[in-house]
A and B are shown apart, each in its own frame.
Chain A
Amino acid sequence: NAGVTQTPKFQVLKTGQSMTLQCAQDMNHNSMYWYRQDPGMGLRLIYYSASEGTTDKGEVPNGYNVSRLNKREFSLRLESAAPSQTSVYFCASSEEGTGELFFGEGSRLTVL
């Protein structure tokens, strides 16, 4: 049982490049989330998806887009990367209506 799997684990981009972070969960959870973690700032919610076919903005959505491809997969896209998007990105999933989130191992992104 892999839980939440994120790819890639590390990525270096140049300013203006685009990329997609992939996330898949095998726990049959309805809800999925993308967070970013910066030093001293905890985790901030970028986007979430309460169920397949729905997505909503979180606290810091600017510069990102998401796709809930199916119940298992939730991707995060950076269309034109900026240095301010250098961060560690975490995908998570949960049963709907609970605060017990299951996180992936994270994707460390550096934008030069």
Chain B
Amino acid sequence: GESVGLHLPTLSVQEGDNSIINCAYSNSASDYFIWYKQESGKGPQFIIDIRSNMDKRQGQRVTVLLNKTVKHLSLQIAATQPGDSAVYFCAENPGSARQLTFGSGTQLTVLP
């Protein structure tokens, strides 16, 4: 079946720099996308979501961009902080909130 994937498994950035985490999806029926953050030893935590009728959505220090033409999703974190070090997952919803499909995750490491 179709699944969500990530371009890079790891990403290292300097503290204060901006981070960009990418995600590719293949299910053209997906109409809702979510980013989750998972800190070591904890459960995933919702960051931000975007519906397919939008191409950009901003939160506090985070921006999600959606390019439906190439089926690409990205999460931008501004002024990355040590507390941003975590695994980031994108997830897609192909029409049912009960069947989120998660990607394999990107490990973000913030360097001092």
Contact = CB atoms under 8 A, between A and B. Distances in A.
Contact of A94 (B89, B97, B105): B97
Pick from A42, A92, A103 the residue with the most CB of B within 10 Å.
A42
B103 A106 contact: no
Q: Main SS of chain B's interface residues?
A: loop
A106 B97 contact: no
Nearest to A56: B98
Interface residues of B, number: 23
A27 interface: no
Contact of A45 (B9, B49, B99): B99
B34 A58 contact: no
A44 B4 CA distance: 12
Interface of A: 4, 31, 33, 40-45, 48, 50, 56, 58, 90, 92, 94, 96-106
B31 to A, nearest CB: 10
Contacts of B91: 43, 99
A5 B93 CA distance: 25
A104 B43 contact: yes
Contact of A50 (B42, B98, B102): B98
A105 B75 CA distance: 24
Contact of A42 (B43, B98, B99, B102): B102
